Amino acid sequence: MNNTSLNQGQMSINSSQNSVDIKQFTTILSHRRHLILGISCIVMLVASILAAVAKPTYQSSMQLLVSSNLYEGVRSSNIERDADSEVTNSNFQVIDYTSQLKLMLSSKLIQKAVDLLRPNYPNITLEDIKGKKGKGRTSPLNITQIESGTGINKIPSQVFEISFKDNDPVKAQRVLQALQTTYQKYNIEQQKERLDRGLSFVNARLPEIKKAVSKSEKNLEQFRKKHNLVDPEIQSKIISESLADIQKQLQTTRAQLQDTRARHSNLEQKMVSSSRLSQSARYQSLLDEIQKTELALTQEQLRYTENSPTVQKLKQQRQSQLALLRQEAGRSLKDKVANPGNSKQLLLTQGQMVGVGSKLIEEVIQVQTAALGLIANQKSLIDSEKRLRSELNKYPSLIAEYNRLLSEVQTNRKTLEQVLQAQQSLGLKIAQGGFDWQVLEAPDLGAYTGRGRLLLLLGGVIIGPILGVVAALIWELSDNKIYSLRELQKLTNLWLLGTVPKLVTDREMKKRLPRLSWNGRRNLAPSVVETRTKLPYHENMDMVYQNIQILKCPLPFKSLMLTSALAGEGKTTLSLGLAASAAHMHQRVLVIDANLRYPCLHKILEISNDWGLSLLLVDETNTSVADYIQPIHPAIDILTAGPVPEDAVKLLSSERMKELLEVFEQTYDLVIIDTPAILDRVDASIVASLCNAIAIVVRIGQITPNELTQAQEILSKLNLIGIIANEVKASSKG
């Protein structure tokens, strides 16, 4: 065979090792039908047993709403604070309910439910509700989070469905009722615990803050009593306003005084120029008294109102004094006293002037009196200004101290107010916070879920064949054997000499084998006498023989070696079958057992192996070759392997072996040589080099592509004429 065919075979091997041809799927199923049927029956039997022993199951369920009030409150406040904040909104899109699910399934809570069930079910345990731990074990208690939405928009909702399965429907309902009571009680306890834990810090600080408020208020009150002030800033403002008013009054008084003095100077000039009053001691005395009275009246008017008795008395005294002054002036006007050299002296100091009218004198007195009043008022205002300035200088330090004390009071009061508000707000939030568990649907009476039996049976019917097919495919891929003639031809590209099914039984062989008899050792004519040996026979062997005869036309040969890649592929049986077909065609045939190490031809034919090929190869006497041959049929002779030699390779490769084959080819029409497997020993390769033709026997379903390719490579340089497929079934021909 050429290298191209070998490469094609090798490529076919690699492809078959990686995948199974879809076209061969039916063939594989046919080959492994017993495996598929067996696995299907086992699976269905197991399913039937499970369905038979399964007890009726009842399931009770309830729904629980797990909401987070604290989450809602925080989200609302964040939205009010920043309605456009994407980060804030994204932080509240997902709530971790995993912890709540684990809490519902916790042994601590379920144990409380078990304690509630003990009066009705004394033997109930935690494992009866939660289930026993272990791989593959299912829990009768199942808690799932219901999803809302459809398709890709499905999101976990706040509703949990809690179900429990048991053989008793009432017990299933009572278990969920106990869990409902446990969950609600736990929810209340957790709210109270969160409230106490959250307010503990606030309640611890509240007495300290109240004490600080009381102390700061006491310090402020002492400051006010000490300085007789309510608010230094307001008092300072009042004093500043009073000081400004006094300064304004002082400016006005000074202007009035200046004006009065100017008027007084004008009146003096008039009196000097128009009057010549003489000096009068009485007039001077009255004038002094009037001045004193005016001064006293001015001072009292600053202290008291006009309705004061003192002010009224002084006014009456002034009127009396003015009347006396007029009388004295009228009497003195009759006298003429000249004193023109002292015009700048005041009228009251130079005495009475002759020629001055009483009205002018009265006006001078009034101006002088007003000037005295303005002087006194100016002095009083200056004293008040000094006093107010001195008092105002004390207020900056008082205001600073007051502000410090007031700020401390306000800060402590604000802190107290905030703590009280926090106490109230925190208490409300904690009471409403955390996860709140509310029952939406109460536990119902357990509903029958007996569909499990039908599902088991249906699952066994469906899963059984599937597992069988999967196992068949896995087996097919793992063993990598050749199961079809098409694959066989594709791998080797050799001539297929024929296909042989599993050979018939002895009884069928008796009916089909020609009834040939023999007289002595040589008789070619058939007769009605039965042969003593039953040979394997099938009509397909005749076709194999005919194909071999066709191949002999261009290159005639008489010696044919049958070998195989591995032992146990049926080459010995086919050698006898091929001999029977040749005998049927009136050919004299010699079958040689060349498997010197492990001979088996004599066992099949039930003949002696005391002498045979091994002895014939070492026999150096003149013993006839015919003495080693055993006839089993008038047209068929047998040369057994003989006793096992020490060195089979030496005997088979000897010149004696070559000479014997030449003798046999001259004596018989066909010499069939049964050799060991080509991959097991070198014996077959040695014999192959001596034969005219070689045929490989392949048992379908036993040999792998790799083994067949190796055998072909060994025999490719020799006269390899083709392949005989053994034990071919009808399904393997596709």
Would the pTM count as exceeding 0.85? no
Q: Is the pLDDT of residue 328 over 90?
A: no
pLDDT at residue number 286: 79
Distance CA 179, CA 172 (A): 11
Q: Please list the residues that pair with 722 across neighbouring strands.
A: 695
Average pLDDT estimate for 307-328: 81
- Banded model confidence at residue 428, pLDDT cuts 50, 70, 90: low
- Banded model confidence at residue 642, pLDDT cuts 50, 70, 90: very high
pLDDT at residue number 563: 92
SS3 693: strand
Average pLDDT estimate for 456-471: 82
Q: Is the pLDDT of residue 341 over 90?
A: no
- 504-543, pLDDT tens digit by residue? 534 344 444 444 333 333 333 333 223 445 678 778 888 8
- 613-629, pLDDT tens digit by residue? 999 988 766 678 888 99
Which of 91-95, 261-265, 458-462 is predicted least confidently?
91-95
**Do 39 and 464 form a contact (C-beta atoms < 8 A)?**
yes
Average pLDDT estimate for 17-30: 59
Distance CA 473, CA 469 (A): 6
Distance CA 156, CA 96 (A): 10
**Do 258 and 378 form a contact (C-beta atoms < 8 A)?**
no
Distance CA 267, CA 113 (A): 120
Report percent pLDDT > 90 for the chain.
Answer: 12
Cα angle 174, 179, 180; round to 5: 95
| Amino acid symbol at 620 | E
Q: Is the pLDDT of residue 95 over 70?
A: no
Q: Is the pLDDT of residue 249 over 80?
A: yes
- 546-570, pLDDT tens digit by residue? 888 887 655 567 899 999 988 888 8
- Banded model confidence at residue 324, pLDDT cuts 50, 70, 90: confident
SS3 233: helix
- Banded model confidence at residue 186, pLDDT cuts 50, 70, 90: confident
Distance CA 624, CA 611 (A): 13
pLDDT at residue number 448: 67
Distance CA 177, CA 174 (A): 5
- 398-414, pLDDT tens digit by residue? 888 888 888 888 888 88
- 584-641, pLDDT tens digit by residue? 889 999 999 999 999 999 998 889 999 999 999 887 666 788 889 999 999 999 999 9
More confident residue, 689 or 367: 689
**Do 710 and 679 form a contact (C-beta atoms < 8 A)?**
yes
More confident residue, 202 or 531: 202
- Banded model confidence at residue 357, pLDDT cuts 50, 70, 90: low
Provide Rg for the chain, Cα atoms: 71
pLDDT at residue number 434: 55
Average pLDDT estimate for 458-469: 83
Question: Going along 343-479, which residue ranges are E strands?
Answer: 435-441, 447-448
User: Nearest 5°: phi and psi at 482?
Assistant: -95, 125
More confident residue, 420 or 613: 613
Q: Is the pLDDT of residue 709 over 70?
A: yes
Average pLDDT estimate for 567-582: 90
Burial of residue 463 (number of CB atoms within 10 Å: 0-12, 13-18, 19+): middle
DSSP string computed for 83-130? TT-HHHHHTTS----HHHHHHHT-HHHHHHHHHHHTTT-TT--HHHHH
Q: Is the pLDDT of residue 215 over 90?
A: no
Q: Is the pLDDT of residue 17 over 50?
A: no
Q: Please list the residues that pair with 592 across neighbouring strands.
A: 639, 673
Residues with Cβ < 8 Å from 352, sequence gap 6 or more? 277, 278, 279, 280, 283, 328, 329, 332, 333, 337
- Banded model confidence at residue 381, pLDDT cuts 50, 70, 90: confident
Distance CA 291, CA 367 (A): 11
More confident residue, 534 or 470: 470
Distance of CA 320 to the CA centre of its chain: 115
- For the record, the structure tokens of 671 come out as 């010499």
More confident residue, 75 or 326: 326
Q: For the chain, give the mean pLDDT.
A: 75
Q: Is the pLDDT of residue 446 over 60?
A: yes
Distance CA 448, CA 60 (A): 9
Residue with tokens 């005495």: 351
pLDDT at residue number 593: 94
pLDDT at residue number 76: 41
- 658-686, pLDDT tens digit by residue? 999 999 999 999 999 999 999 888 998 99
Distance CA 351, CA 355 (A): 13
- Banded model confidence at residue 320, pLDDT cuts 50, 70, 90: confident
3-state helix, strand, coil in the chain (%, to 5): 60, 10, 30
Distance of CA 327 to the CA centre of its chain: 124
In the DSSP assignment, the letter for residue 628 is G
Which of 96-100, 336-340, 424-428 is predicted least confidently?
336-340
Q: Please list the residues that pair with 439 across neighbouring strands.
A: 64
SS3 448: strand
User: Nearest 5°: phi and psi at 231?
Assistant: -140, 105
| Amino acid symbol at 569 | E
Report percent pLDDT > 70 for the chain.
Answer: 75
- For the record, the structure tokens of 113 come out as 């439910």
pLDDT at residue number 596: 92
More confident residue, 131 or 174: 174
Cβ density class 512-538: b for 16+ within 10 Å, e for less:
ebbebebeeeebeebeeeebebbbbbb
SS3 721: strand
- 277-294, pLDDT tens digit by residue? 445 677 778 777 887 887
Helix and strand totals (H; E) in the chain: 26, 13
In the DSSP assignment, the letter for residue 338 is -
Distance of CA 496 to the CA centre of its chain: 63
Task: List domains and CATH numbers for the chain.
Answer: 485-518+540-733 (3.40.50.300)
In the DSSP assignment, the letter for residue 62 is E
Within 10 Å of residue 262's Cβ, how many Cβ atoms?
11
Distance CA 483, CA 26 (A): 11
**Do 629 and 615 form a contact (C-beta atoms < 8 A)?**
no
pLDDT at residue number 636: 94
pLDDT at residue number 676: 92
